[in-house]
Every structure is written in structure tokens, then in C-alpha cells.
Amino acid sequence: MKISMYQASVPAFIRALNNLAAILEKAEAHAQGRKIDPAALLNARLFPDMFPLVRQVQLATDSATGGAARLADVGVPAYENTEATFPELVARLRKSVVFLETLEAGRIDGTEDKTVSWQTRSSTKSMQGLAFLMSHVLPNVHFHVTTAYNILRHNGLEIGKLDYLGRN
């Protein structure tokens, strides 16, 4: 018995982005309840040369949608990175989930040996599909969701591991 590239990718991305959306909704409610300027959370970062919360959320969606699109060989969704509020970030997450839901399993299944290439700031990289998924895309999605979680935890939001993992 075997599993498929689709089973090891898109459902996990959707779950991670939905969990992050729920965390951001808690953060927004927390800011309202405590009369905290939402920007104090949205622009928070763990170190001056790390990305702030807004960018971590954008990168979580880009990692998931870009990774899935490259495996499926469809256009990579491009967003403008203009989000400046919690509702706008949640909308980006929801939009990314809708994109992921449109991807047919058949376009991703069988891509484990396919060569995936992508452009970084300084070079072109390529990996085989399975390594691209397991060593690059999945770790990146979880990295940015976890870092968003850590920024909010560090700033006092009362969330726990189950918010990160999802409750079902």
C-alpha cells in the first residue's frame, strides 16, 4: 500500500493555513479586548532582522500555494503583499485555501520524480518532487506558521499547541 504526493501535500497545507487563520482571529479578538493596537502585533518580530508577523503569514501562504502550484505545474498565485490588518491576513489565508482546494489530486500525484525548478533571489534551484515537498515546502509552511504562532505567544496571546495542530 502506498500514499500519494497529493495526500502528503495539499491537505496538510490547507490544514496549516486554516489553523493559522483561527490563530489570527484569536489575536484580533485579543487586541480588541485588551485595547491593544493591532499594529503592535502585526509588526512584531522576534529579532530586528527577522520578518514581522504580517510577512510570516504572507510567506506561509506563498510557501503552500507556490509549492503546490509548482508540483501541479499550474501558475503560481501572486499576491500583492499589501495586507495591513488581521482581517486582510485572514482573507489572504482563505483565498490561498480556496486556490489549494481547486488543485486536482491527479495533477500532483506522480510528481515525486519530476524536477521542480524555482527562482530564488540569487539563483535558480531545482529538486526532485519528493525532496522538494519533504525537505523544502512542508518545512517552510510549518516554519512560517510556527514563527507566526511564536511571535504572538511572545507577545502574550493565550494560545497553545492545539491551536497550531488543529483540534480535529
Q: Which stretch binds a second copy (CB under 8 A): 25-33, 46-54, 77-85, 93-101?
A: 46-54
Q: What is the CA radius of gyration of the chain?
A: 16
Give the C-alpha separation, 61 to 14, whole Å.
Answer: 10
Helix (H) or strand (E) holding 125: strand 124-128
Q: Contacts with a second copy in 85-114 (CB under 8 A)? A: 109-110, 112-113
Taking the complex as a whole, the smallest distance from the CB of residue 81 to a second copy amounts, in Å, to 18
Joined grid coordinates for residue 21: 487563520
Give yes or no for a contact between 56 and 20, defined as CB atoms under 8 angstroms apart: no
Q: Would you count residue 22 as binding a second copy (CB under 8 A)?
A: no
Give the C-alpha separation, 133 to 68, whole Å.
Answer: 9
Give the C-alpha separation, 16 to 142, whole Å.
Answer: 7
Taking the complex as a whole, the smallest distance from the CB of residue 83 to a second copy amounts, in Å, to 21
Helix (H, G, I), strand (E, B), or coil: what is residue 153? helix
Among 37, 47, 80, 124, binds a second copy (CB under 8 A): 47
Q: Would you count residue 27 as binding a second copy (CB under 8 A)?
A: no
Taking the complex as a whole, the smallest distance from the CB of residue 67 to a second copy amounts, in Å, to 13
Q: Closest by alpha carbon to 96, among 8, 7, 10, 5?
A: 10
Taking the complex as a whole, the smallest distance from the CB of residue 156 to a second copy amounts, in Å, to 7
Contacts with a second copy by CB under 8 A lie at 1-5, 7-8, 11-12, 15-16, 46-47, 50, 109-110, 112-113, 130, 134-136, 138-140, 142-143, 146-147, 150, 153-154, 156, 161, 164-166
